[in-house]
Structure 1
Amino acid sequence: MTTTRVFHGGSVFTGTGTPLDGQAVIVRGERIDRILPETELAAVLGAEPEGSVELIDLRGALLSPGFQDAHIHAVGGGVELLQCDLSGTASAEEAVAAVRAYAEANPDEEWILGGGWSMDCFPGGNPARGLLDAAAPGRPVLLASRDHHSLWASTAAIERAGLGPDTPDPVDGVIVREEDGSPAGTFHEGAGDLFGDVRPATSEELRYRGLLRAQEELIALGITGWQDAMVGGEGASIADPLPAYERALSEGTLRVHVTGAQWWERDRGIEQVAHMVAERQRVAALGSPERLEIGTTKIMVDGVAENHTAAMLTPYRDSHGHDTHNHGLSFIDPARLREYVTALDAAGMQVHMHALGDRAVREALDALEAARAANGPTDNRHHLAHLQIVAEEDVPRFAELDAVANLQALWATHEDQLDQLTLPFLQEGLEARQYPFGDLVRAGARLAAGSDWPVSSAAPLDAIHIAVTRVAPGLDAEPLGGAHQRLDLATAMAAYTSGSAYVNHRDHDTGHIKPGYRADLVVLDPSPFDVPADEIHRSRVAQTWIDGALVHAVETAATTARTTSIDEEGEPS
């Protein structure tokens, strides 16, 4: 007998607009059956067999579609939780202590791998190899930065890779050096790949365990689906997660739905398109597109601003405020980028571009414009992620080109890494262009949202808080970029639900509370719509439901689930 579940006693965010009050949501099996006024519940449920109805009393909490993360590295994040995890450290001393503790607890591990250190904890954002040498004497250590655009290496790791004063910087990266030219311990962007031949590979078993750990963590945050921003490729610190997803699919342990973005190798060419189409078809033949599909391509257009590799229209300044010759890095020649995006679009692939600096955003939009000119409008739903700086004249182009703005809203606040390592080195006026969410909305851009975890916290509610306030909880600062860049709460919630469902091509059955849609739901207590904007972060995930099944629950003062039989008059007994 199919169980009927009735969510009542709270408000309902359907995926867009203002939450509904006085409405009940009826779920039959895996799907949403209907939404109806609570006053009509008795009449509707009176015909149900006795004992077949479960009433979930929200007691004032909010029922919402499950969150979807449109840009995440879930398997990499899970693996890091199982390795030397520095994500909870807030200073150089804490980071070094964590490495020392891990080394002592794991004496048989030849290499110490992991990540999560923050650049603002170290002078100039560049931790030195000597700190690792002291924490783990004689052992090779490789630790990715929080944003995964830099590696911190011990002397033993550097020596094993054969790197020295005469090692040139790669074209897409920087080796931070000591006075004699020796590697100092920090390797930015493509320089991290110099360890590729010596660092231990991440085993398929570890990747699988990382996926299961990540899935547990993310479901607890109310996330019921995501787009993995790097599958099918190997990075300096993230191993290909696709085998883990396929194993979970075959073993029935993949609870969420995943869109995989196939990694574009920037040192290769257009021949990758045919391979990606073939991989898309191979995964589709597994027969579970509602759980896993890989019809997206991920292209890194540039780096990040804190290590001055984000591609900028104007030059970075030095510590004295003088212009340098550095405009950041375009990882792919703009002409080639237009060629590649046009070919991918013609092949029906979605393109997901990392574009952080204003020049990178312009180059990405130019590529989409070239694709549209060649192929006409499509429903491929291309999107640009991060968007730290967007030139005013490029803002309207998002709507004109049907380009989705994929926001990592947790970053849109003053914090040490931005204030110490980025803003002082940008031209005057660019602080006002940081993460211009409000401008994008006013220009008609469609929004999606994600976290880039493990770069930063995966918690959607924390990101939504900052999207609405532009100030991190507890921080005494002005809204980054000005109050006009704030989002209203309904818009921020929509970006993380229906907006990301649209990007993931799952808006036909997820991202909304509508009849016929999958019952992928989250209960938020208290409702973020019922608290002041500066207290949105107090809202917590009380329950997560996937396909009508309760997969996560936390007892709270306001929410409880109880099974109640219905008497002949349709009233609870």
Structure 2
Amino acid sequence: MISRLFLFIFVFVGCSENYQRQKIYHNAVVWTGESNNPRATAIVVQDQFIIFVGNDEDAFLLADENAIKIDLKGNFVTPGLIDNHVHFMSGGLQLSRIDLSRVKSKVEFQDLIAKADMELKDGVWMQGGNWDHELWGGTYPDRSWIDEVVDDRPILLDRLDGHMALANSFALSIAGITNETQDPIGGIIKRDIYGSATGILKDKAIDLCSVHIPDISAKELDDALQKATDHALSLGITQVHDMGSWSNLETYKRNYDNGNLRIRIKIYPWYENWKNLISFMQRNGSGDDWLRWDGIKGMMDGSLGSRTAWMHEPYLPYKEISPTVGIITLDDTTKFKYLLRETDKKNIQHAVHAIGDKANDWILNEYIKIKNDHGNIDRRSRVEHSQHLSASAILKFSKNGIIPSMQPYHLYDDGSWAHKRIKYDLLSRTYVFKSLIESGANLTFGSDWTVAPLDPLKGMYAAITRRTRDGKNPQGWFPKQKISIDEALRCYTINNAFAAFWENTTGTIKSGKYADFVVFSMNLIDISADELLNAKVLRTVLAGKDHIF
């Protein structure tokens, strides 16, 4: 074995035109993610690649005499963490916008808006938000919450799930939204008992306002990308799967071409760009190990918090809210079926948002029909969120090679109020992590940032404890669905790499793969769940480059 390793190192170094000194990371507790070599104490890196994983003695024996020796002082190492579902550019922009995610009253809401108004130039739209009405009792805000403190600039503030927003009167006027404006297909303009628009816009209705917001400059987008990247690296994230726009793809490609892309990104552009994507791939291929674009993002429905997730049965009644089973956000299901089949012919991966049980059933069945129509090839079709599943849906994932792309931190939020939306039977089939793993599905995890925090440790905590933010489920919300920390790590590493077709080069710590790994201050396997939230990222290594925190 040692002779083969020497041969690998000799061939690799001998063929390298830009030889860099090897680095030996030693005195570590390494969780590799590899079943045939699960633990190690040392990693040897040459340029961007891992060339040895094993014990310290062999590492020092095999490495060059002038190798850089990095003592990790007994700290815990995992593969680079991967987030399966982010809105990366939105996150980078949000870091510089108003944040209402912790607001618990109208007074706090208005105070922060007034402060943000003072920092903005005249005439500029105020954006951001991330508010959650469940934090102040569940009553929707209305436009007066903004108008009472700021009435001379347009303001559009998203709910944390991105499926509902609050506009002030100025923004509604710019959008031409009046009491007579009809709900768009796939959207809802909320009205009071007199039929007046309250300022609450759901799903496609948000576009009526957002389309009037001026485009962001290329420099602002580039700056936002760098801010988002810095934030991700500080949390041990080396790869993200971005549910983005065509503009986002252009931003990533521009930074890639300029040598400024510092994190691995697989982008799934919005499905309405499918023809553009096919043409783009004909000219540029599908990308490489830094940036890939061979996927599209679709959306079946809204969200549970906004009562727009598409369900088989009506939502539970609540105050003045009309009975509903949610909405399907597609303008035309026939056209959507067509584009799914046309992109499948071009080997474009599908990632479709589905939260309600009916939405999940619809897209699962459609994926199965495509497999039957076009043949059983390696598609790795994804269902983004896979949140509320019918009894028959769970086994369809593993049986048909469909990937459940889930975000466990949502459980921490939703579990405190979901009982006000849906019946117990469906609640029991919500965030069914354990059932999906036991069925053989390739369960993947992420954040849905900015809807939830980007920090993977918070996601792991939610998955292994299933505790909720109201403190009412100390043993876990539907505790039979709790998973182990080892399973959670796999969902944030190799399972995610597989979901992006990057499992051969990323996702585990293995000789020949990219040197993407993270050093933590605590051993995530051995510590308690409560201690998990106190663990810190000390070092993130991406393509052999160290980022120290």
Distance 2:528 2:153 in 1: 50
Residue 52 (structure 2) pairs with residue 34 (structure 1): yes
- Encode CA deviations 1:484-527: one digit per residue, 9 max, x unaligned: 10111111101111111111111111111111111011111101
Whether the 8 Å contact between 1:434 and 1:481 is mirrored in structure 2 is no
Query: Is 2:288 the counterpart of 1:289?
Result: yes
5 Å-filtered alignment, 1:3-18, equals 3-16=21-34
Q: Which residue of 2 aligns with 1:246?
A: 253
Q: Check whether the contact 2:22–2:67 (CA below 8 A) recurs between aligned residues.
A: yes
User: Do 1:66 and 1:223's aligned partners in 2 also have CA atoms closer than 8 Å?
Assistant: yes
Q: Which residue of 2 aligns with 1:369?
A: 368
The question of whether the paired residues in 1 share the 8 Å contact of 2:175 and 2:209 is answered with yes
Shift of 1:321: 13
What is the identity percentage for the equivalent residue pairs of Structure 1 and Structure 2? 26
Aligned to 1:419: 416
Counterpart-to-counterpart distance in 1, 2:367 and 2:406: 18
Structure 1 counterpart of 2:143, from 129, 132, 143: 129
How far apart are the structure 2 equivalents of 1:254 and 1:111?
29
Give unpaired runs (5+ residues) of structure 2: 1-18
Shift of 1:258: 1.0
2:29·2:41 contact (CA, 8 Å) conserved in 1? Answer: yes
* Secondary structure in 2 matching 1:157: helix
* Distance in structure 2 (CA, Å) of the matches to 1:88 and 1:241: 28
Tell me the residue number matched to 2:531: 535
**8 A Cα contact 1:173 1:189, kept in partner:** yes
Between the aligned partners of 1:370 and 1:43, the Cα distance in structure 2 is 55
Structure 2 residue 321 is matched with structure 1 residue 328 = no
Give yes or no for contact 1:125–1:307 (8 Å, CA) kept in 2: no
Instruction: Indicate the RMSD between aligned Cα atoms, in angstroms.
Output: 2.3
Q: Which amino acid aligns with 1:540?
A: K
Judge conservation of contact 2:301–2:353 (CA < 8 Å) in 1. Answer: yes
Quote the offset at 1:439 in angstroms.
0.7
The one-letter code sitting in structure 1 at the alignment partner of 2:166 is W
Shift >6 Å, 4+ stretches:
none
How many residues are paired up?
Answer: 530
Q: What is residue 405 of structure 2 aligned with on the other side? A: 406
Q: Structure 1 pair 41/260, CA: closer, same or farther in 2 (3 Å)? A: closer
Q: 1:92 to 1:501 in 2, by over 3 A?
A: farther
The answer on 1:201 being equivalent to 2:253 is: no
Rate the CA distance shift 1:125–1:378 in 2: closer, same or farther, 3 A: farther
SS in 1 for 2:146: helix
Aligned partner of 2:239 in structure 1 is 225
TM-score, length basis structure 1: 0.87
Cα pair distance change 1:489/1:123, threshold 3 Å: closer
C-alpha distance in 1 between matches for 2:502 and 2:86: 17
Q: Is the CA contact 1:338–1:368 (under 8 Å) kept in the aligned structure 2? A: no
Distance 2:39 2:269 in 1: 42
Query: Which AA in structure 2 matches 1:67?
Result: L
Go from structure 1 to structure 2 and tell me whether the alpha carbon gap of 1:372 and 1:105 turns closer, same or farther (over 3 Å shift). same
* C-alpha distance in structure 1 between counterparts of 2:353 and 2:415, whole Å: 18
Q: How does 1:29-428 map to 2 (within 5 A)?
A: 29-45=47-63, 48-49=64-65, 52-122=66-136, 124-232=138-246, 240-265=247-272, 273-284=274-285, 289-319=288-318, 326-332=324-330, 336-413=335-412, 415=413, 418-420=415-417, 422-428=418-424
> For residues 331 and 474 of structure 1, what CA distance do their matches in structure 2 show?
31
Q: Tell me which of the two structures has the higher relative contact order, counting C-alpha pairs closer than 8 angstroms and 6 or more residues apart.
A: 1
CA distance in 2, matches of 1:307, 1:445: 29
Q: Secondary structure at the match of 2:451?
A: coil
Q: In structure 2, what residue type is equivalent to 1:120?
A: E
Q: 212-221 or 327-336, which moves further after superposition?
A: 327-336
Q: 1:528 to 1:91 in 2, by over 3 A?
A: farther
Q: Are residues 309 and 29 of structure 1, via their aligned partners in 2, closer, same or farther at CA, if it must alter by over 3 Å?
A: same
Structure 1's unaligned 5+ residue stretches are 233-239, 266-271, 555-573
Q: C-alpha offsets along residues 446-478 of structure 1, whole Å, 9 cap, x if unaligned?
A: 111111101110001110111111115893524
Equivalent AA in structure 2 for residue 367 of structure 1: E
